[in-house]
Structure 1
Amino acid sequence: MSTPQLGLRENWRQFSLLVLVNAFVGGMVGLERSILPRLAEQEFHLVARSAILSFIVVFGLTKAVANYYAGAWANQIGRKTCC
């Protein structure tokens, strides 16, 4: 078993993925705070608080399910290629 390599140069792929994921999450937060309340009021006649709460709940549930399957997949793939 090899020792993990530390540093950004050695792990630039993982770091780039982390930056990309954070950009997408930041974009979702921006949508949640600027566009979603107006859309919910105009299209669904919901109060802004209800729209934000429902968005947070759905986003959280979706992220939890996606993380579960991504973790299981990464565990399978990582063990085959890593060691």
Structure 2
Amino acid sequence: MTTANIQSNAFQLGLRPNWKQFALLVVVNAFVGAMIGLERSIFPDFAEKIFGITSTTAVLSFIIAFGISKAITNYFTGKLVNRFGRKKFW
């Protein structure tokens, strides 16, 4: 790799050159915040009225199901990224 190639692949710090990644981060955090807000405010009442279970059981089951599905998704996403998305530096 020549010096010109190394310089063209240099990282740029700051929000202005990385605004797309920052916007994606903001959108993802907004969706996660909305999901947690729904889970804490609406889900316990819904579970008690519809399914007849206590709010603590409903919240705990939601957290467990969300954690398991997120762990599985992260595992397979990591495998795909390592195979197709990472740049080879050597």
Scaled by the length of structure 2, the TM-score of the pair is 0.78
Question: Normalising by structure 1, what TM-score?
Answer: 0.84
**Superposition deviation, residue 78 in structure 1:** 4.1
Measured in 2, the distance between the counterparts of 1:24 and 1:14 equals 16
Spell out the pairing of 1:8-27 with structure 2 (5 A cutoff).
8-27=15-34
1:51 corresponds to:
58
CA distance in 2, matches of 1:48, 1:77: 42
Distance 1:16 1:74, change over 3 A: farther
Higher-Rg structure is 2
SS at match of 1:79: coil
Q: Deviations over 1:14-49 (max 9, x none)?
A: 111111110011011111111100110011111000
Distance 2:34 2:71 in 1: 18
> Which segments of 5 or more consecutive residues in structure 2 lack a partner in the other structure?
1-5
* Total equivalences in the alignment: 82
Identity %: 54
Q: Which residues of structure 1 form unaligned runs of 5+?
A: none
Q: Which has the higher helix share?
A: 1
Q: Which residue of 1 aligns with 2:80?
A: 73
Distance 1:38 1:50 in 2: 12
> RMSD of the TM alignment (CA)?
2.1
RCO greater where, 1 or 2, for CA within 8 Å and sep 6 or more? 1
Structure 2 counterpart of 1:35: 42
